[in-house]
Amino acid sequence: MEKRLIKKEALAGIAKKMAEEFLVWAPVKKEDNVLFVPLEKDVEPFFAYLNSKNAPKNVFFPHTEVMMKFTRTPEGMALTSEENKADAAVLFGVRPCDAHSFVLLDMLFDQEKYKDEYYINKRNNTTVISLSCVKPPYATCFCTSVDGEPVSDIGADILLTDIGGNYLVEFITPKGEKLAKYFGEDKADAAADAKKKEIAQKAKQAISSRIPAHEVKPILDNNFEHPIWATIHGKCLACGTCTYLCPTCHCFDISDEAKGSDGVRIRSWDSCMFPLFTKETSGHNPRTSQKERWRQRVMHKFKYYVDNFGAIACVGCGRCVMSCPVNLDIRKVIEDISKI
């Protein structure tokens, strides 16, 4: 598909122009963090960011979302509406690792038998514009170990790559091409393309943190009861920060909130790190301690997801590594498992 060039300083203006017409999620400075938020008038998007504090999964899978509404009737509580409409939107400037996560989440939410309309509607109506990492943002980045690359169009409808002074704009999908009019008329030449390839190669080589993500699969297949599981969780606080920030963690709770005669059924993020996650009404809990919960987290990402969907449920963004309050580093956990 077609490729164009835009001046680097034009990017914020393009995002703001789009935001006049539809919902644009863009990286914005919030105190010390960068977060993806709906871009409001007079707010500057910040594209020189490393990566956002939170994964942008909340665009498709909000932290809390109303699934349906209900009201009291003489016979009992009755459904009044389903809340699964999604307006057209653009997710502007996500990092390739996070765009990769959407492809992984699609596998779960958009299965043949059970389709999760809440996720799918938002996903279908949102155009994803990825922003290549021309330099690895953090020392904790390990995307190349989990089938990603710092310059990658996986999960993207449009890919932007800083080739020095200009962004190379690549329209990856027809959905992305529909936004071509916002990106000027300056067609990219072969030199721009070559420059991008060179940058992509360098960026890939610059990712120095590596984990044996594929190599541990056969080990995990056969070592559910290995003593190593008793050695990982010791300092874990069960705070759930890792799963909250993770771009691929998708576990959720469904609960009802009612006030007076009206109420809503909502879903909200939940976490396998929490003791109550699997606790049954009888009091029985199949995962009795943090040991089992940590095993579940590792197994889910590096074995169960591979068994079910043929893909590792980790994109190597390193958020869980950076934000864990006790420095429990999944890279080391995987490394240790690879040696048993």
Residues that bind other proteins (CB under 8 A): 67-68, 70, 73, 75-79, 82, 84, 108-109, 111, 113-118, 224, 250-256, 258, 263, 265, 270, 272, 277-282, 286-287, 292, 296, 299-300, 303-304, 307-308
Residue (48 or 276) nearer to other proteins, CB? 276
Contact 136, 202 (CB under 8 A): no
Instruction: Report how far apart, in Å, the C-alpha atoms of 91 and of each of 94, 128, 169, 215, 258 are.
Output: 7, 5, 15, 33, 33
Residue (138 or 274) nearer to other proteins, CB? 274
CB 156 to other proteins: min, Å: 24
Residue (199 or 312) nearer to other proteins, CB? 312
CB 77 to other proteins: min, Å: 4
Strand, helix or coil for residue 82: strand
Q: How far apart are CA 25 and CA 15, in angstroms?
A: 9
CB 222 to other proteins: min, Å: 11
CB 43 to other proteins: min, Å: 34
CB 136 to other proteins: min, Å: 30
Residue (74 or 174) nearer to other proteins, CB? 74
Q: Which residues contact 23 (CB under 8 A, 6 or more apart)?
A: 38, 87, 88, 89, 90
Residue (42 or 225) nearer to other proteins, CB? 225
CB 72 to other proteins: min, Å: 8
The DSSP bridge pattern shows strands 126-131 and 262-269 to be unpaired
Residue (178 or 217) nearer to other proteins, CB? 217
Q: Which residues contact 258 (CB under 8 A, 6 or more apart)?
A: 70, 77, 264
Q: How far apart are CA 295 and CA 278, in angstroms?
A: 14
Token pair in block for residue 194: 């070559």
